[in-house]
Amino acid sequence: EAQVTQNPRYLITVTGKKLTVTCSQNMNHEYMSWYRQDPGLGLRQIYYSMNVEVTDKGDVPEGYKVSRKEKRNFPLILESPSPNQTSLYFCASSLRGANPIYGTRFFGPGTRLTVL
Amino acid sequence: KQEVTQIPAALSVPEGENLVLNCSFTDSAIYNLQWFRQDPGKGLTSLLLIQSSQREQTSGRLNASLDKSSGRSTLYIAASQPGDSATYLCAVDFNKFYFGSGTKLNVKP
């Protein structure tokens, strides 16, 4: 089944304790991205990746890191989480053709993170 | 920067009604526009994708139209059902992906 998976689905942690949220897709998609969703602010892009070893900042990258060493995986790293990073996080992927028409974006089920 | 607006923010209708959700965007140079459905606390499910060269797409009871020149898209839901209750989001692909704030739909039995 074509899908985007995220782990963990729920995480409660404390300020300053490094954590990684994994994202994996099995559709051979080139483009992957991370979003956070907050009440009243909607969905905002954190980082995106056009392909392996190619990443770029989205609208709210502060406090986050990403890496794209393999095509299927795009982990989100919080080196020193803070309470303002409490949010619902989504990973997404899509196929990027020769021209910049990205096609349908597929979203993971979300990771609910609470930083105490 | 692209701004995406959805109107109305919330909508409550009796079962069986046909309804229209609106999405507007400020820069017409988009690659495509996508409509999503989100159930409370859940992920996003893609409903329809309209490429910039297309005018509309249909899937079952859903029909989405796109007017790039005016910066508007509409999602038409025919014969609404209680199971349609969810938040509907539109997003435009404009180098990056920009989301609207959504329309929360409640279909009453």
Tens of pLDDT, residues B22-67: 999 999 888 889 999 999 878 899 999 998 889 999 999 999 999 9
Respond yes or no on whether the N-terminal peptide bond of residue B8 is cis (omega within 30° of 0): yes
Q: What is the mean pLDDT of residues A29-39?
A: 92
* Helices and strands (H, E) in chain B, number of each type: 0, 11
* Helices and strands (H, E) in chain A, number of each type: 0, 11
Q: What is the mean pLDDT of residues A71-86?
A: 97
Question: Is residue A99 pLDDT above 80, yes or no?
Answer: no
Give the total residue count for chain B: 109
* Pairing verdict, β B56-59 and A19-25: unpaired
Q: How confident is the model at residue A101 (pLDDT cuts 50, 70, 90)?
A: low
> Are A34 and A113 a contacting pair, CB within 8 Å?
no
Instruction: Give the tens place of pLDDT for each residue, A15-30.
Output: 999 999 999 999 999 8
Q: What is the mean pLDDT of residues B77-86?
A: 97
Mean pLDDT of chain B: 93
Sheet holding B62-67, edge to edge: B4-7, B19-25, B72-77, B62-67, B56-59
> Are residues A104 and B43, on separate chains, in Cβ contact within 8 Å?
no
CA distance A18 to chain B (A): 25
H runs (alpha helix) in chain B: none
CA distance A21 to chain B (A): 16
Instruction: Give the tens place of pLDDT for each residue, A41-63.
Output: 889 999 999 899 999 999 899 99
Question: Is residue A73 pLDDT above 50, yes or no?
Answer: yes
> Are A74 and A66 a contacting pair, CB within 8 Å?
yes
> Are residues A103 and B49, on separate chains, in Cβ contact within 8 Å?
yes
Q: How confident is the model at residue B91 (pLDDT cuts 50, 70, 90)?
A: very high
**What pLDDT does B43 receive?**
86
**What pLDDT does B99 receive?**
92
Question: Is residue B12 pLDDT above 90, yes or no?
Answer: yes
Give contacts of B93 with chain A, Cβ < 8 Å: 101-102
**What pLDDT does A102 receive?**
59
- Give backbone dihedrals phi and psi of B53, rounded to 5 degrees, phi first: -85, -5
**What pLDDT does A98 receive?**
42
> Are residues B96 and A42, on separate chains, in Cβ contact within 8 Å?
no
> Are residues A45 and B41, on separate chains, in Cβ contact within 8 Å?
no
> Are A78 and A111 a contacting pair, CB within 8 Å?
no
